[in-house]
Amino acid sequence: MTTTRNRGAIAALLLLICAAGASPARADRAGTADAGDLATADGQYIYSHICQGCHMAQGQGAEGAGHYPALAGNPALVSWQYMALTIINGRRNMPAFSAKHAVGFFFAPVVLGDAQIAAVINYVRTHFGNDFKDAATADGVHALDR
């Protein structure tokens, strides 16, 4: 007979085991989970393999289990720095994708390097009806993630 206390202890133990095995998937180092494809990926690849699941294929956003804002025609994207800080630190439902801020709980998070963050920002800001001319750079992203 399993008591409520025992079930709680078992659940806590399972969480600790899962958390202990979780480590970030580094996008800027070869040889770790998902790193091979991401290390040389362009912004479109990163968007379609990471961002599209929530923001949808055409950047139209979604409502349901959470609110995932549209990236298509979004005037907030006028600032690439705003986008970079959102990707680095996370925002509301969105996880952080920077090595300093990404935390795995039940899974190993995807960690994007500065170049990958700049690439996906530039892709989004020039697609889905967006036509912003200034571009994010890896150095600019790095300066924000100190």
pLDDT in tens, 74-103: 999 999 999 999 999 998 888 888 877 766
Judge whether 34 lies within some domain: yes
Q: Give me the CATH number covering residue 50.
A: 1.10.760.10
Q: Which of 36, 56, 28, 23 is nearest to 117 (CA)?
A: 28
Judge whether 3 lies within some domain: no
Judge whether 1 lies within some domain: no
Contact 38, 44 (CB under 8 A): no
Judge whether 33 lies within some domain: yes
The pTM of the full predicted model, rounded to 2 decimals, is 0.72
Contact 97, 117 (CB under 8 A): yes
Judge whether 6 lies within some domain: no
pLDDT at 65: 81
Judge whether 13 lies within some domain: no
Domain count, the chain: 1
Structural domain for 71, as ranges: 23-144
Spell out, as residue ranges, where the chain has pLDDT lower than 50: 2, 6, 8-33
Strands (E), 1-134: 25-26, 62-63, 67-68, 110-111
Judge whether 109 lies within some domain: yes
